[in-house]
Amino acid sequence: MYSDFVKKNYTSQADKTKFNGMVEYGYGQVEPNHLSAQRTGQIYAQLPAASSILMLEQGQFVKYNYAAPNGGQVDFAGAGEWMLVYNELKLYRDIQQDCEFAMIKDNYQARIYSPYDWEQTEADKQALFMNGVDAAGNSAYTIPATYKVATEYDSSATYYSDANGTTAASVADADAFAAAGTLYVLDKPAKVYAYDDVTGPVDPYEIHYNEDPFHFLGRYKERKMPAGTTMVPRVFKTNVGDIFTTNLVKAKFADVALGATLAPGADGILAPAQSGDMLWQVVRKYTLADNQPAVKVMRIK
């Protein structure tokens, strides 16, 4: 049977046999009945799932933790409210059914998060300095002096003991010159080139005025996925009154009464609860399209 095949290959986190849940075979499913995010646009798919998350099933809840390091992540510990995992189904064989899909870390190999890394921005380079100073605030550029080896004694020359002209050597006569070894004399003196200021004063009435326009941006870099992350889930913000049908519940179908309340647990999976930041009420005991038992739930808190 198809269900037996699926049971051998896929195990839900709310599996009926292994975890005392409602899923009979395959993974958890969602049938949207009235999800306001489909109208309000409160759908998010910007943050990677934390490296510790190995699987996200349809109907699971997560936190959108933008304050986490490396630009934020999807996890179960963020400060925001629970968000409903409702990914686009990616099933590529005609015989497959919805219960065969879950977002599983090993199935995803995302490496590049964004083509632009805002923490490694382009270097601002300058082609010409037209306002009298360079990027370091210098008003002139100096070409250093150069020195050459002295080959003969000249009483009017100044001698140096190094090729950089930093240490003067005392040479009184030709004999001292011959005894001193290698000495250096000035070859070409230093040259100073002042930057011209050809720009006008700042004009506050010209909004596009730039007193030094000859700049260009260097190469930018792509932003990689945070270490250990491979997938970016799609999650829905839900509101009071939203309704959907699911079997991803950590409770047996027979044990969940009409009117009972459910709340996301520490792993983001709905389970019976009387209180919490978010509560869903069972408004109908129902079935999914594949005839698995499920509950229709409405958010009441």
The tens digit of pLDDT for each residue in 131-187 reads: 788 878 899 989 999 999 999 999 999 999 999 999 999 999 998 999 999 999 999
| Residue 199 and residue 248 in one domain | no
Cα(244)–Cα(254) distance, integer angstroms? 19
Considering the domain boundaries, does residue 3 fall inside one?
Answer: no
What's the first-to-final CA gap in the chain, in angstroms?
41
Cα(113)–Cα(116) distance, integer angstroms? 9
Considering the domain boundaries, does residue 101 fall inside one?
Answer: yes
**Which of 221, 224, 146 is closest to 185 using CA atoms?**
146
**For residue range 72-114, what is the model confidence (pLDDT) as tens digits?**
999 999 999 999 999 999 999 999 999 999 999 999 999 999 9
| Residue 269 and residue 133 in one domain | no
Considering the domain boundaries, does residue 1 fall inside one?
Answer: no
Consecutive H or E run containing 186:
strand 184-188
| Residue 156 and residue 84 in one domain | no
Cα(264)–Cα(141) distance, integer angstroms? 67
| Residue 107 and residue 142 in one domain | no
The region of weakest confidence among 4-18, 161-175, 189-203, 261-275 is 189-203
Considering the domain boundaries, does residue 4 fall inside one?
Answer: no
**For residue range 234-248, what is the model confidence (pLDDT) as tens digits?**
999 999 999 999 999
Cα(155)–Cα(33) distance, integer angstroms? 102
Checking if the pLDDT of 123 tops 90, the result is no
Asked if 25 and 99 touch (Cβ cutoff 8 Å), the reply is yes
**For residue range 11-39, what is the model confidence (pLDDT) as tens digits?**
999 999 999 999 999 999 999 999 999 99
**For the residues 248-261, what does the mean pLDDT come to?**
97
Residues 6+ away with beta carbon under 8 Å from 150 = 157, 159, 177, 183, 184, 185
Checking if the pLDDT of 213 tops 70, the result is no
| Residue 171 and residue 242 in one domain | no
| Residue 199 and residue 240 in one domain | no
Asked if 82 and 274 touch (Cβ cutoff 8 Å), the reply is no
Cα(74)–Cα(68) distance, integer angstroms? 9
| Residue 16 and residue 108 in one domain | yes
pLDDT for residue 208: 66
Residue 51, class by beta-carbon neighbours within 10 Å (0-12 exposed, 13-18 middle, 19+ buried)?
middle
Residue 270, domain extent: 9-119+223-299
Instruction: Provide the domain count of the chain.
Output: 2
- Indicate the pLDDT class of residue 211, thresholds 50, 70 and 90: low
pLDDT for residue 212: 62
Cα(35)–Cα(57) distance, integer angstroms? 17
| Residue 113 and residue 133 in one domain | no
**Which of 249, 284, 244 is closest to 263 using CA atoms?**
249
| Residue 135 and residue 80 in one domain | no
| Residue 106 and residue 160 in one domain | no
As a whole-number percent, the residues of the chain with pLDDT over 70 amount to: 96
- Quickly list H helices, 10-160: 37-40
pLDDT for residue 210: 64
pLDDT for residue 244: 98
Checking if the pLDDT of 209 tops 80, the result is no
| Residue 13 and residue 112 in one domain | yes
| Residue 259 and residue 210 in one domain | no
Cross-strand pairs, 294: 286
**For residue range 275-289, what is the model confidence (pLDDT) as tens digits?**
999 999 999 999 999
Which of 178, 194, 217 marks a domain boundary?
217
